[in-house]
Structure formats: structure tokens, C-alpha cells
Amino acid sequence: MDLRKLKTLIDLVAESDISELEVTEGEGKVRIVKSAPAPAPQMMMMPAQAMQQTMAAPMAAPTAAAPAAAPAIEGNVIKSPMVGTFYRSASPGSAPFVDIGKSISSGDTVCIIEAMKLLNEIESDFTGSIKQILVENGQPVEFGQPLFIVG
């Protein structure tokens, strides 16, 4: 097929409402598929009063929650070094890297955090045993969020 014909067909598909075009000419066959445009981000407007309530609530919560959380954490805390998705094992069918009560050394892999399609092995900075696992498998985590308590 001629390059000019091909370009014309691509332009026609791009400008029309069709999403796919297949043309057979002699022994040649061309298939043009238009990718769906990414959905436009939606912006939601919040009334000023609701926004003020939303902003005031998070400021009060940390002061009330901090004293209650402090006694529960006894030991060294392994925190997330990045934003991503927490995984306890290397693949869905394999055993988790660590379980409660397992002894670990500094440098041992304790979990994987997936960020932007990259799997990052997270290593322990401490030697001891796992006292608590604070995150569920497949859960999103934030930067600095506690993942494990090592005693």
C-alpha cells in the first residue's frame, strides 16, 4: 500500500468517530486502531463551609491519636521509603519475606513496594525479630508510613 494512502487513512480514522479500520488491498492488509483518549480529570467543587470542616478535622485528629499510638509501638520501626503498593512476597503464590516472630538481620529483604511499575525490595535497618506487621498485602503506603516493628 502506498504511504500517501496509509497517511490518508490514518487521518480519516483520527478525524472520525470510528475506533478501528481494516483495509485489505491485494496481499497487503492494514489495520488502524484509534486509542481511546484518556479521561479528563474531573474537578469537584466543595462548598466553603464543608472545606473548612474538612481542613479543621485533620488538625485535631493527630493530637488525639498520637498519645494512644505511642505506647503500642515498642521497638524499631521499619518505615516506607516511598509511596507505592506494599507486597509481603515476591509473587502472589510465594511465601512472604517475613512473618511475625521471624528473626531478621540488618540488610534482609522484608517486603517489596511497587512504585511506577518498578518493584523495590525494602531491606531492614535493624537486627531482631518481627513483632508486628502494620500493613496488609496489596495496600497502598505513603512515604514514612510504618510497615514493621522489629524487637
Q: What is the pLDDT along the chain (151 residues), one digit of tens a residue?
A: 677 887 888 888 788 888 888 888 888 888 888 776 656 566 666 565 555 555 555 554 455 444 444 445 678 999 999 999 999 998 888 999 999 999 999 999 999 999 888 899 999 999 999 999 999 999 999 999 999 999 8
CB atoms < 10 A from the CB of 94, how many?
A: 9
Q: Where are the alpha helices (DSSP H) in 1-99?
A: 3-15, 48-72
Looking at 3.60.150.10, 2.20.25.90, 2.60.320.10, 2.40.50.100, the CATH number of the domain 74-150 comes to 2.40.50.100
What pLDDT was estimated at residue 150?
93
Of residues 83, 145, 80, the one with CA closest to residue 116:
83
What pLDDT was estimated at residue 114?
93
φ/ψ region of 92 (left if φ > 0, alpha if ψ in -120 to 50, else beta) reads alpha
Domain boundaries along the sequence of the chain:
3-33, 74-150
How far apart CA 141 and CA 111 sit, in angstroms, is 12
